[in-house]
Chains A and B, each alone.
Chain A
Amino acid sequence: MGLDDHDRDRERDVSVGEEAERHLAAAERRRGLLLALPAYAYMVVFFAVPLVIVFAYSFSTRSRTGDPTFSEVGFDAYRKLAEPLIRNVAVRSAILAGVTTVICLLLAYPFAYFVATRKPTARNLLLVAVMIPFWTNFLVRNYAWRVILSTGGPISGVTEAIGLGETDLLFSRTAVVIGLVYSFLPFMILPMYASIERIDWQLVEASRDLYCSGWRSFTKVVLPLSMPGVIAGSILVFVPSLGAYVTPAILGGNKEPLLGEYIVGQFLTARNWPVGASLSFVLMTVMLGATLVYFRSGGKNL
């Protein structure tokens, strides 16, 4: 009998504990929701709703004057995306974006590492130094590169002076890559820096104590710990490069149609809103899918 009482008491304690935990968890969820609410509400009203509106337009048809109309609805705009014309444009853009991202990675990582390992004053100064060029106008910066790369520019001047003749780098794929890397390098540097900066260097010291070489401590300790920054930076560079159109226009001479220019062309020049909308949506879905997949696998390994 005494044992039964004891058992019953213990059951009550356990269930009281469980209930308390549930209350705490619910309180946590409420707090989380409250914290997220302002941004969440803002995004729903000022982003999700407009997006749904345009999504609806991807099912409309182009009227004779170019304005979209809902008198006929259908999947025509999506069917058009299967054509080889668009496939070529997409593949070309993906390759260009990939090359840009890789180059940014290679340049930014050592730089971010360097900045993260300076004293606080130097760190802040360097970060600001990275951002300053980007407070001039985007278009003007692209034009400046145009001057640098043209036959009348400094690079050509140098090669002419040393007898190599004039260099015309302008209006080429190289010029576009240079322009894109230039435009998006800070997007890679900043997240990487944020990630590297908070690494606990005692872990590195520990790995050195365990007889890891400098390189191994880097690959086994620093690199994995800085992964969130690498991933964030890669996304921030790859995606806008994929849709870029100002830089290819100014530095590449529009010689090869890319996704960004094609989508702008559908909305503005051809005034074919259904296809502009459908292509945008497919592009976003693919990118979103890739991002989520990447995060799922990358996130688990951390």
Chain B
Amino acid sequence: MSTTGRRGGVGGWLLAGNGGLVLLFLYAPIILLVIFSFSGAKDPGVWGGFTLDWYRDLGGDRNVQKAIGVSVRVALVSTIVATVLGTMAALALERFEFRGKRIFDALLYLPIIIPDVTMAVMMLLFFTKSFDLIDAMFGTRIGKGFATVVVSHVAFNIAFVSVVVRARVAGMDSTLEQAAADLYSTRWQAFRHVTLPLIMPGVLGGSLLALTLSLDDVVVTQFVSGPGSTTLPVYVFGLIRRDVTPLINAVSVVMLVASLVLVVASLVAQRASEGRRRRELIITGEE
């Protein structure tokens, strides 16, 4: 469908050229990062001969490994929750009218425009006051940790997911959904078979964004995490303060590879489920 938008001739070449340049721009530091993770010099800008030492150090550095584990788990959980809630919010805002809609709308822009440190401070205050309250009422002591980090990440990620999904839904042709409503018997089926596939690029884009934001977050996480729930960026932030070595490069490369594996796996899974669905449709004669 959209391939008819392709430009031919000079325009096409210019576009492709721009695409290549942008990709080069995006990858230049990454390539550098990877190369220097194998450098023997302590200074990450100087080449000191090929070595796998940093990766070996990584294998023995349990602080880093723990931090990576925490980061990945936090990112996965918060992304899933934020994607579900954010998509629902986007649909509700674009397709329905209801009481309190304007406030909801404004509320969803705030996490995007709030300065990091303000969000960090407000979450810290909120959690400590709430925990005091719970302690006073029920006598149970809760501490900051994995849960508080996830809760905070979801709080800002919902907004980002909903912005991306809304941009997608906004110009969507609602007559398609109405037609579906005519043909299918329930709203849920209309959603599953018409709306959801149509907004899927937006949902995926939003969830990718949420994943990235969660993996990268430093300030908010630093304030709301507790002992043992240090994420990788917080750990690296502290490390950079004292000693920058290619160990950090090695850590980044490992994270990169892990994310790649994750994404490839999910793409493969998506393809597989799509293939299965197509086969189902063929069997039931609907295609």
A–B: direct contact at CB < 8 Å: yes
A positions within 8 Å CB-CB of B: 28-33, 35-36, 38-40, 42-44, 46-51, 53-54, 57, 107-108, 110-111, 113-119, 124, 126-141, 143-148, 150, 152-154, 182, 185-187, 190-191, 193-195, 197-202, 204-205, 214, 222, 225, 228-229, 231-232, 235-236, 239, 243, 245-246, 259-260, 263-264, 267-268, 273, 276-277, 280, 283-284, 287-288, 291-292, 302
B27, B126, B166, B249: the one contacting A140 at CB < 8 Å is: B249
B95, B154, B208: the one contacting A190 at CB < 8 Å is: B208
B190 at interface by CB-CB < 8 Å: no
15 sampled A-B residue pairs with Cβ under 8 A: A30-B98, A33-B96, A36-B93, A46-B152, A135-B256, A139-B233, A144-B30, A182-B25, A190-B205, A191-B163, A194-B201, A232-B163, A283-B115, A284-B110, A288-B109
Task: Report the separation of the CA atoms of residues A276 and B96 in the bound assembly, to the nearest whole angstrom.
Answer: 38
* Complex contact B96–A35 (CB within 8 A): yes
B184 at interface by CB-CB < 8 Å: no
Chain B interface, DSSP helix/strand/loop, else mixed: helix
On chain B, the residues within 8 Å of A150 by CB distance are: 45
Segment at the interface with A among B12-20, B54-62, B134-142, B279-287? B12-20
Most A C-beta atoms less than 10 A away, residue of B167, B209, B252? B167
Task: Report the separation of the CA atoms of residues A185 and B19 in the bound assembly, to the nearest whole angstrom.
Answer: 13
Task: Report the separation of the CA atoms of residues A54 and B111 in the bound assembly, to the nearest whole angstrom.
Answer: 14
Knowing that A39-B85, A236-B112, A263-B115 touch, tell me 9 more A-B residue pairs with CB under 8 angstroms.
Answer: A28-B96, A29-B96, A29-B98, A39-B104, A194-B168, A195-B170, A199-B2, A229-B167, A284-B114
* Complex contact A39–B168 (CB within 8 A): no
A57, A182, A198, A259: the one contacting B26 at CB < 8 Å is: A182
Task: Report the separation of the CA atoms of residues A128 and B211 in the bound assembly, to the nearest whole angstrom.
Answer: 12
* Complex contact A140–B33 (CB within 8 A): yes
* Complex contact B267–A28 (CB within 8 A): no
Task: Report the separation of the CA atoms of residues A133 and B112 in the bound assembly, to the nearest whole angstrom.
Answer: 22
* Complex contact A127–B89 (CB within 8 A): no
* Complex contact A264–B123 (CB within 8 A): no
Q: Which of B16-44 contact A (CB under 8 A)?
A: 16, 18-19, 22-23, 25-30, 32-33, 36, 44
Min CB distance, A114 to chain B, in Å?
4
* Complex contact B168–A47 (CB within 8 A): no
On chain B, the residues within 8 Å of A267 by CB distance are: 117-118, 121
Q: Which of B125-178 contact A (CB under 8 A)?
A: 125-126, 129, 151-152, 154-155, 158-160, 162-164, 166-168, 170-173
* Complex contact B3–A119 (CB within 8 A): yes
Range class of the B interface residue count:
35 or more
* Complex contact B107–A48 (CB within 8 A): yes
On chain B, the residues within 8 Å of A119 by CB distance are: 3
A33, A47, A182, A191: the one contacting B155 at CB < 8 Å is: A47
* Complex contact B99–A33 (CB within 8 A): yes
Task: Report the separation of the CA atoms of residues A68 and B251 in the bound assembly, to the nearest whole angstrom.
Answer: 39
B183 at interface by CB-CB < 8 Å: no
A32, A111, A236, A273: the one contacting B18 at CB < 8 Å is: A111
Q: Which 4 pairs show the lowest CB-CB distances between chains A and B? A: A32-B96, A144-B29, A36-B92, A135-B259
B237 at interface by CB-CB < 8 Å: yes
On chain A, the residues within 8 Å of B212 by CB distance are: 131, 134-135, 186
* Complex contact B208–A291 (CB within 8 A): no
Task: Report the separation of the CA atoms of residues A38 and B162 in the bound assembly, to the nearest whole angstrom.
Answer: 13
Q: Which of B256-270 contact A (CB under 8 A)?
A: 256, 259-260, 263, 267
Task: Report the separation of the CA atoms of residues A119 and B1 in the bound assembly, to the nearest whole angstrom.
Answer: 9
* Complex contact A47–B33 (CB within 8 A): no
* Complex contact A232–B167 (CB within 8 A): yes
* Complex contact A128–B263 (CB within 8 A): yes
B15, B160, B202, B260: the one contacting A113 at CB < 8 Å is: B15
B91 at interface by CB-CB < 8 Å: yes
* Complex contact B208–A131 (CB within 8 A): yes
* Complex contact B99–A29 (CB within 8 A): yes
* Complex contact B117–A264 (CB within 8 A): yes
A36, A137, A232, A260: the one contacting B233 at CB < 8 Å is: A137
